[in-house]
A and B are shown apart, each in its own frame.
Chain A
Amino acid sequence: MESKENQWSDVLVKSKQGHLKRWLRLLLKSKTGTIGLLIVLLIIFIAIFAKLLAPHDPNQINAAMMLKPPAWVEGGDTDYILGTDNLGRDILSRIIYGSQISLVVGVASVILAGIIGIFIGLVSGFYGGFLDNILMRIVDSFLAIPTILFALVILTVFGPSALTLIVVLGVTNWVQYARLIRGEVLSLKEREFVRAARSMGVRDHKIILKHLLPNVISPFIVISTLSVATTIILEASLSFLGLGIQPPTISWGGILSDGRDYVATSWWLAAFPGLAITITVLGMIFLGDWLRDVLDPREKKV
């Protein structure tokens, strides 16, 4: 236990001091971790440089080029590598632009959920007692609501937009962080360094900020990478259902949704945006798994 913990803090400490080499060595040890990181970096790169990378204007309607199959299939056009949709828009360009919204919604909602969850978790775990009871029952009731249903209701009431989507996904996701962080805090506050801080009269908010928060960040990072992945799927599902991102803003779920009526004859309309989602999510999960191995001593295989 002790040595594992040492390695764990070792990794964090060294990285803080700029020992990137150490991280890199640890990363290269794990194949899936490397693949995951590469995928995530690639998606981020694509999202940032979408304008330069996309071969066509993603919203350019071209009646002459409707439902073209991918370039390597008979009847395909090399100009449109992944084919075109029912309005003659380039699928590749749409997927490239779609990565922006997927990432933004995924990351922003996780950050929002994280801020709420960490705060509630810290307060609940640290003070315990009645407050803890109340907060945890609230968490339980949130867990009892089906996420998709809740999101659908809110989006119908407030109207679908990227911002509402972020808020809705953030608000439904904070509970898992609150529970995780609370659990960590419960064990941390019995550790002797927290008791030491108390015995020397350090104020509560300082204990929370200086002793508890820095020690719950790494489990948070692990869960949040995995949670970005599920959020991207959720966003795609909502967009597919028509309550997510609205056109002309392009999202992967939206592309899927647009192609719904033509899937029987034109498989590429659904296959490529679906693939984009799968690869991104897989990359996030690989990265998250690796981070957990490195950051979280309890999940570590000896």
Chain B
Amino acid sequence: MTVILSVRGLKKYFDVTEGWWKKEKQYLKAVDHISFDVNHGETLGIVGESGCGKSTTGNLIMQLLEKTEGEIIFQGVDLSTLSKQQLRKKRAEMQMIFQDPFSSLNPRMKVFDIIAEPLLTHLNLSSEKLKEEVLSLMDQVGLDRSYIHRYPHEFSGGQRQRIGIARAIALQPKLIICDEPVSALDVSIQSQILNLMSKLQKELRLTFIFIAHGLPAVKYISDKIAVMYLGKIVELTTKEKLFSKPLHPYTEGLLSAVPLPDPMLRNKKDGVILEGDIPSPTNIPSGCRFHPRCPHAQEKCKNEEPTFIAHEEEHYVACHFPLKEGVGVLEK
């Protein structure tokens, strides 16, 4: 397995200093030193509450935001070393699927123009070839060919997301960043879209970074999962390990929050309910940033920031006192 993307010590601080007379700068630490690798063909899920920096991470990788520090190495190349021209070429290999299928498509463009846009930007196709290509993309994502001259508003959310997916796979990219691609959709449509995405992943050998705020969607599609809290990755491991034996109390809290369909199981579940809200990223708690909400917090947690280490093979965690008997979601 080859590593397609590695992120090293990535930071993004937004300057939120109010007023020019204040000497001390205030920063919103949206992403605060995170590192991970993604192998070719696999899916990394990134989960966390809103405001934890997961979307910022996606935008940083896509070079839609400028990083403050760190390295983003895609196919062996540090993206920040590329010239504007080189970066534009590289963009053909990494695409994005967006959260809101209503705002991600230009209301004034027809389906054909939307799907053809990446092709027109990077390739030089004759108009017949272009149309052929667009039609075959529409087939691939399950859109009827007759829709080609329709406008986005004539479609439902799920169909719009299919258009967005067709646009993302048009250039046969290596990496697709999916920024909460199903969270704006009905539950019944969610599974259709997830199925489509995993089908396409197999067919096209895609690598996904799948950003979501809840575990259920990620569970279905991911191979590895990174749990983010306040700009940091607190736990990173394979899906199986994360769900069966979480090490970080925050992961455990997230897992307990997953609703279970069976009421009998629901009662047996002895999970932890997380108290309180996520603190402001402008004012990050000292020591371990999770300690004010952590049920197992001790004195050390308040003062000393835990390092992100491999607790066991392929299981990284940032916690002073990792759970010994982590309570996972009961396996069905």
| Residues on A facing B (Cβ under 8 Å) | 2, 5-6, 9-10, 12-13, 191-193, 195-203, 206, 210-211, 214-215
Contact = CB atoms under 8 A, between A and B. Distances in A.
Contacts of A13: 151, 153
Interface of B: 62-64, 87-89, 91-92, 94-96, 98-100, 102-109, 117-118, 121-122, 151, 153, 164, 167, 171
B92 A9 contact: no
Contact of A9 (B62, B88, B107, B167): B107
A198 B106 CA distance: 13
B153 A9 contact: yes
From DSSP, what is the main secondary structure of chain A's interface residues?
helix
A201 B122 CA distance: 8
B97 to A, nearest CB: 9
B180 to A, nearest CB: 11
A125 to B, nearest CB: 16
Contacts of A202: 117, 121
A13 B107 CA distance: 9
A195 B179 CA distance: 12
Contacts of A215: 106-108
A200 B102 contact: no
Given A192-B103, A210-B109, A211-B106, 7 more contacts: A2-B102, A13-B153, A192-B100, A196-B96, A196-B98, A199-B94, A199-B95
Given A192-B99, A199-B96, A201-B121, A6 B105 contact: no
A193 B121 contact: no
A202 B88 CA distance: 8
Interface centre among B103, B106, B167 (most CB of A within 10 A): B106
A12 B151 CA distance: 11
A207 to B, nearest CB: 10
A226 B207 CA distance: 53
B103 A191 contact: yes
Contacts of A10: 153
Given A199-B64, A201-B122, A210-B109, A9 B151 contact: yes
Nearest to B105: A193
B87 to A, nearest CB: 8
Given A199-B62, A199-B64, A200-B91, A192 B104 contact: yes
A132 to B, nearest CB: 18
